[in-house]
Structure 1
Amino acid sequence: MELNMKIYHGSQYIIEKPEFGKGKVYNDNGLGFYCTQDIELAKEWGCDNGLDEFANCYNLNTENLKILNLNDKKYTILSWLTLLIKNRTFRITNELAKSAKQFLFEHYNVDISSYDVIIGYRADDSYFAFAEDFLNNSISLPRLEKAMKL
């Protein structure tokens, strides 16, 4: 892991200093200050309703931070999906989906409460639809994995 990371936060506003707790509770990893190392992705996140967007740039010193990397080989996409299910509202269409949700909580749950930084997949609305389809048994695990790498 890099000791100093250049990261970007997409917004309709210039944010000189990140402040925890101002975001939405129902985002992928819960309440947090979401950033990316991809400036173009930050611009995309900041663009809403045709308004100007800003890619706020920060240097993050990771030396004393506890980092959860969901892309690490010890985790699977199911770990990320379980975290997503905990923080977003899913449309569950049948009993099988309810059972699948319970199975994921029992076998793939990751406690994020002690981490400062979480690295992993993103789930904007288009990606979220794939996760919801997987939970409702509409797409396979390989298809979900492929979609998340787009």
Structure 2
Amino acid sequence: MKVYHGSTLVVQYPLAGVGRDNLDFGKGFYVTDIYNQAKRWASVMMLRRPDSSAMVNVYELDVARLSSANYKLLRFEGYNSEWLDFIVSSRQGKKPWIGYDLVEGGVANDRVFDTIENYIEGQISKDIALGRLRYEKPNNQLCILNQQLIDECLSFEECIIIK
């Protein structure tokens, strides 16, 4: 499966466990199978670093090898109750991803961020939050939390410079 990582850097040798704490699916290496999503993220990152270029790193994820190994995978099918609980727990620093090698599911991006924040702050109920999220079409992200999985299953192919 082709996956993409939007950045301002060429990331030929990705590392798990590098990055910010309390992200959606943990402190890991994030990729997506949606090229335009990675391209948008690279553009956002470039705005934060005006002297840089937006780049999309392209990888091949060996799904057959990933499935045949003893990796612990968690996949969310949409913006559902389990996904919301996981995201909230992550943002509160509870690290629900501990024990997983890869977590996949929808992105808590700008379109859904306000709903999640309103829910966390107690301004809306879980049912209302899920009702709002029902109308959003999830993008997709994969967070690779295990360096061995990266080394065995993810192969760098190229880096495409956007700007």
When the two structures are superposed, what TM-score results if normalisation uses the length of structure 2?
Answer: 0.65
Query: Secondary structure of the equivalent of 1:34?
Result: strand
Aligned pair in 2 of structure 1 residues 87, 112: CA closer, same or farther (>3 Å)? closer
Q: Secondary structure at the match of 1:87?
A: helix
Cα 1:137/1:121, change in 2 over 3 Å: same
Structure 1 consecutive aligned stretches of length 4 or more whose deviation exceeds 3 Å: none
Output the CA distance in 1 between the equivalents of 2:74 and 2:104.
6
Shift of 1:87: 1.9
Does residue 83 of structure 1 match 2:83?
Answer: no
- Cα offset, 1:148, TM superposition: 4.9
Taking structure 1 as the reference length, the TM-score comes to 0.70
Distance 1:147 1:130, change over 3 A: farther
Give the Cα separation in 2 of the matches to 1:9 and 1:36: 7
Q: 2:53, 2:132 → 1: CA distance? A: 34
1:147 is the counterpart of 2:136: yes
Residue 82 of structure 2 aligns with an amino acid whose one-letter code is: S
For structure 2, the 5+ residue unaligned runs are: 140-163
Identity %: 31
Higher strand share: 2
Q: Deviations over 1:61-113 (max 9, x none)?
A: 223233211118xxx61111111112225xxxxxxxxxxxxxxx9xxxx9532
Structure 1 regions of 5+ residues with no counterpart? 90-104
1:26 to 2:29 alignment: no
Paired positions, count: 125
- Could you say which structure has the greater relative contact order, defined with CA pairs below 8 angstroms and 6 or more residues apart? 2
The whole-number CA distance in structure 1 between the counterparts of 2:113 and 2:129 is: 15
